[in-house]
Structure 1
Amino acid sequence: MTKTTFTGQRHPAASTEAENSVNKVPTETTMNQGGDSSHLSFQLTSHKLNGKNYLEWAQSVRLAIDGRGKLGHLTGETKKPEPGDPKMNAWRSENSMVIAWLLNSMEAAIGKPYLFLPTARDVWEAVRETYSDVENASQIFELKIKLWKVRQGERGVTIYYNEMVSLWQELDQCYNDEWECPKDSVKAMKKEENERVYLFLAGLNQEFDELRSRILGKNPLPTLRETFSEIRREETRRNVMLKLDSNLEGKNIDSSALVTAKNENDKKKKPWCDLCKKYWHTRETCWKIHGKPPNWKKKGADNRGSQAFQSSSEESGLQPSLEVPPFTKEQLELLHKLLQSQLQTSKLDPSTPTCSFSQTGQGLGEDDWQC
């Protein structure tokens, strides 16, 4: 029969904590010169059994005793020799030492009932039967609820993954499945692995939707560790890109600030009147205080002919010209006299084309000429 558990996904934090607790066993080489130092220390782990932490306690104790080569006394592999066997004394000494280790790793009220059990294996099994949650329906239900509710939220992917693995490890300790066929065991483990991948992906944030779709599209589905590794790489890439984008945005803001400052400096260089709030002059030359210059003429003033030209242009759909007329007043008078002489000549000779010119101002237009 094959016993199947799904504890392969060991929680890094839990295993590290267990190893650290094992390393806290005091060094005995200074206490025993050349003897078996393992007999002098009975402090195995910082995890003392209190009735509620059996899983952590059992893992820590197993690691510590296995590290000292005495795990066979817990599993039953180290058999008790027959009476009269020369190895009997050594076995009795090791058995007593392991029992002392176990009792000293429990609280006094917890360890007292196991003080008179004959073998270390008897103590180990009694504690397991009393405090283990194997096939505990209430414990299984509570762990299942926690797993269904776990979401990544604002945490990193690594913290979210480790929390789920820790819950799965506790859940594995609640089962004691045995399979008659090894192939059925492999299939069951793969099915359980896929279920955990689905649950892990379901709790991820929305930003991983695209990667989640790619993972679900693979056949066969990656393992839980492979899935976590791929998600973690994507998270790292996103963090790097966001940092680059924020740096570029900061540079753009700095550039905009420089441009704004430059425009403000340019404005400061222009003359500014604090009375009329206009550029290109100061209070010393402002017309509101000192009046207009004597030689100033308003644009378009004394230009009646130009007004007539503008009126005729508006009627014909033409835009009025704002340019200065090409002829001076003296030139216009001379041109007028020339036209008058031409008119008198045309009266004497009817075959000569006639032309009239009217001018009432400085501006000229197409309608001012009549031929």
Structure 2
Amino acid sequence: MAEAMGTQKDAVLDTGSASKTENVPLQVTSIRLTKDNYLSWSAALEIGITSRGRLSYITGDKPAPIKSDPQWATWALEDSQVKVWIISSVSSDIQPLILRKPTSFDMWTVLAKMYGRKKRHLRTYQIKRSIYSLTQGDLSVAAFYAALKTKWEELDYHVTDEWTCGSDHSLYWEKEWMDRTFLFLGGLRDEFESIRSQILNGDEIPGIEEVYARVESEEQRRQVMHLDTGHGPSAFVSRASGTGQRPARHCTHCHKLGHSVDFCWDLHPEKRLVRGRPPSGKRSPSVSDSSQSNSSSGAKSKLSPAQLQELQAYISRLSTTPEESSTSEGAQLAQALVASTDQGLGDGEEDWDWFGY
């Protein structure tokens, strides 16, 4: 009878142990401890252990009971699980250093002594140097602020100053966060000069969180308005309306740009004096002689106001009369234009665009 009761008691204990370890993960963080990342590792592992309700095992607040205590079996089971989490989160070269420690608290304490305060002054110097040299560069405002915040937290971990006066301690941290606000603003790109000036020219400098919120809001506004570096309002309007520059015309006959085959002078010589003047290689002898005489004399003639008025009136008539209505008057005006301008228009696109085609 006694043996049966003992067997039943063992079965109940085994069932309780199994229920406590059921669905318990082998890892609570993806960060593995190396010789240089103790701060980030300890923070991540502490969060993972706390989420499982077993932080007191590594802080020493729940020491081991005596083995005759009915709670010893439960404590040993839960402490072993914490030890598994610690061992699985350190690199393979560090595991032998803690593998035979009796409790998870001993493992945690040894790792803190070995890597937590190692070369504190050298590490403080390295952190401060990296903070002062850090700029936004190609990072977003959020990524830049996160990089600074990570370094500030690591720096605070290595600073072990003890304060006897609470008011002096508060004043120190107020000044410290003011300096960090200046570092954040100073590391931003030049495109945030406007919001930076607004903050610095205010009567009071807000806290670092409010400063970050204002700068990050400005970045979002710029992204929405497409006002990042290299983009202007005209480019945004062009993209929004779906229109850009006028596509260049291409003639399939002479393979020149600036006109289509319907207005090619080679195929339609009758349109030379209606739409513009002929190409430079096909000018009439009178025009060529007039240009040579003007260049040899060195004088630069210009259109008189009367000629300009006649030319404007002629162009206005072209918009209301058929193309076949070119007359000798049009020819005379076109030749006068060629002979009177300082620099003749070249072939291609400029020939047509001067008259609006």
Report TM bin, short chain: 0.5 to 0.7
- How far has the Cα of 1:161 moved from its partner? 1.6
In the superposition, the TM-score normalised over structure 2's length comes to 0.59
What does residue range 160-309 of structure 1 map to in structure 2 within 5 Å?
160-242=144-226, 245-249=234-238, 254=243, 257=246, 268=263, 274=269, 277-279=272-274
Aligned pair in 2 of structure 1 residues 70, 253: CA closer, same or farther (>3 Å)?
Answer: closer
> What amino acid sits opposite 1:68 in the alignment?
R
Using the TM superposition, give the Cα deviation of residue 252 of structure 1 relative to its aligned residue in structure 2, in angstroms. 8.8
Aligned to 1:313: none
**Aligned-residue offset at 1:133:** 4.1
Partner of 1:123: 107
Are the equivalent residues in 2 in contact too, given 1:133–1:139 (CA < 8 A)? no
RCO comparison, higher one (Cα < 8 Å, 6+): 1
C-alpha offsets along residues 320-347 of structure 1, whole Å, 9 cap, x if unaligned? xxxxxxxxxxxxxxxxxxxxxxxxxxxx
Is the Cα–Cα contact under 8 Å of residues 43 and 101 in structure 1 kept in the other structure? yes
**Inter-CA distance 80–249: structure 2 relative to 1 (3 Å threshold):** same
How many residues end up aligned between the 2 structures?
A: 252
Q: Distance in 1 between matches of 2:58 and 2:205?
A: 38
Cα drift, residue 113 of structure 1? 1.8
Separation (CA, whole Å) in 2 of partners of 1:185 and 1:99: 37
The answer for unaligned runs of 5 or more in structure 2 is 1-14, 228-232, 251-257, 277-283, 285-357
CA RMSD between the two structures? 4.0
CA gap of 1:255–1:204, structure 2 versus 1, over 3 A, is closer
Q: Deviations over 1:167-214 (max 9, x none)?
A: 222222222344334433333322221111000001112222221122
Residues 1:64 and 2:64 aligned together: no
Partner of 1:77: 61
1:154 to 121, 130, 138: 138
Q: How far has the Cα of 1:63 moved from its partner?
A: 1.2
Change (3 A) 1:155 1:49: closer
Task: Supply the distance in 1 between the matched residues of 2:30 and 2:46 (Cα, whole angstroms).
Answer: 13
Larger-gyration structure (1/2):
1
Structure 2 letter corresponding to 1:246: A
The structure-2 alpha-carbon separation of the partners of 1:268 and 1:53, relative to structure 1 and needing over 3 Å to count, comes to: same
Deviations 1:196-248, CA, capped at 9 Å, x for gaps:
10000011122222211221233442121211110111122223333664232
Q: Distance in 2 between matches of 1:114 and 1:253?
A: 66
Unpaired stretches in structure 1, ≥5 consecutive residues = 1-30, 282-287, 289-371
For the 8 Å contact 1:39–1:97, the answer to whether it is kept is no
Instruction: Sort the Cα spacing of 1:279 and 1:77 in 2 relative to 1 into closer, same or farther, 3 A.
Output: same
Identify if the C-alpha distance between structure 1 residues 254 and 121 changes in structure 2 by more than 3 Å, giving closer, same or farther: closer
Q: 1:115 to 1:268 in 2, by over 3 A?
A: closer
**Aligned positions of 1:330-341 closer than 5 A:** none
> Aligned residue for 1:322?
none
Could you say what secondary structure the match of 1:131 adopts? helix
Distance 2:124 2:105 in 1: 27
- What TM-score comes out, normalization by structure 1 length? 0.57
Residue matched to 1:109: 93
Contact 1:143 1:171 in 2 (8 A): yes
Deviation at 1:268, TM superposition (A): 4.0
Aligned to 1:142: 126
SS in 1 for 2:188: coil
- Rounded to whole Å, the distance in 2 between the matches of 1:280 and 1:40 is 86
Distance 2:218 2:180 in 1: 20
Identical-pair percentage: 27
1:254 is displaced (CA, Å) by 4.3
How far did 1:166 drift?
Answer: 2.0
In 2, Cα distance between the equivalents of 1:180 and 1:44?
38
**SS of residue matched to 1:278:** helix
CA contact (8 A) 2:238 2:244 kept: no
Give runs of ≥4 in structure 1 deviating > 6 Å: 31-34, 258-261
